[in-house]
Homo-oligomer: A and B are copies of this chain.
Amino acid sequence: MKGINPDFQRPGGPATPDSVEAWMDSIQNQGISGLSRAISLLENKKPEARNTAMQVLQASMPFAGNSKRIAITGIPGAGKSTFIEAIGTYYASKNVRIAILTVDPSSQRTGGSILGDKTRMENLSRLPNVFIRPSASEGTLGGVAAHTREAIYLCEAAGYDLILIETVGVGQSEVAVHSMADALILITIPGAGDELQGIKRGIMEMADCIVVNKAEPPNQEKANHAANELRNALHVFPPHPYGMQVQVRLASAKTGMGIEETADCILELIAKAQSQGTFEKRRTEQTAYWLTEALHQRVMQGIMESKSASEQWNTLKLKAEKGEINPFVAAQTFWDLFRRNIQ
């Protein structure tokens, strides 16, 4: 296992784990750097690392599933990071262990630093019972890091009680985000209107709690108005599939107004779902979703690893985009070529 990711070997740090047992020890007994290293293993694309990652994921299963998973989404500029810092600090004060998985939009644009979020949540990151992990938002699921779903299992194996997943809210597949959390929180701002441009249509109806953030002076009136409009809109939305009473809350991450109430409210929504049995139902349906998603992704990725296959598809795709070939014919042609090659 040596050298599968040079990042694991930090000067003076512990050696890279060389067995699944050692990886589990790293996750469960070596603090945030141990967990962080294991999440890097998930993100490592080398086949041998991927192989180890799968064994570690499987070894984590007996310890998985016991956290509460909260997804937080919203447009850039809605104040997601400061909101997470605020509720995270409150939760942490209750002796809860919190893991925060954030998607760093800056890394999407620049391919650069993935430490951006750590500085954005400086105070929170200093607390001993808080783990913050920023990830680049590259990957197939748009707006959520490719391995976020896997990372949740490791955080749970590390004993975190509460997992906050931040996403940028403008990705291709908000369903993916929606399908990894026990509650989806949408952060909006007073008088958003056109600022909502770019947010994925449908996400508002999927939210379990909508927070009107930045409700501090001089925005109170606008914030109240926005909250009332949202509450009215909830009347025409389809009823919640798991029977949750969708909440609209005013908050100000800046002044702290409404933060504790919102944080409590989110946990109450989840607790109620647990007592009503809908929590389990939701998780079961999410597992079914992820099973199919994981299968399709793994298979398509595996097939496209072949250079000739990916070149063939790119050629067909280009022709289909130009209208020269029917999309279904393109798919069939690709499959015929692939099948011939493997026979």
A271 CB–B CB distance under 8 Å: no
A197 CB–B CB distance under 8 Å: yes
Report A333 CB to chain B, min CB distance, Å.
Answer: 8
Chain B residue contacts of A295, Cβ below 8 A: 300, 313, 330-331, 334
Report A275 CB to chain B, min CB distance, Å.
Answer: 21
Chain B residue contacts of A204, Cβ below 8 A: 205, 236-238
* Of A92-100, A118-126, A285-293, the one with at least 4 CB within 8 A of chain B: A285-293
A46 CB–B CB distance under 8 Å: no
A265 CB–B CB distance under 8 Å: no
A317 CB–B CB distance under 8 Å: yes
Chain B residue contacts of A339, Cβ below 8 A: 302
A54 near B332 (CB under 8 angstroms)? yes
Partner-B contacts on A (CB < 8 A): 50, 54, 57-58, 60-61, 64-65, 149-150, 153, 175, 193-194, 196-206, 226, 229-230, 232-233, 235-241, 284, 287-288, 290-291, 294-300, 302-303, 313, 317, 320-321, 323-335, 338-339, 342
Report A108 CB to chain B, min CB distance, Å.
Answer: 19
B288 near A321 (CB under 8 angstroms)? yes
Report A79 CB to chain B, min CB distance, Å.
Answer: 17
Report A156 CB to chain B, min CB distance, Å.
Answer: 11
Chain B residue contacts of A197, Cβ below 8 A: 238-239
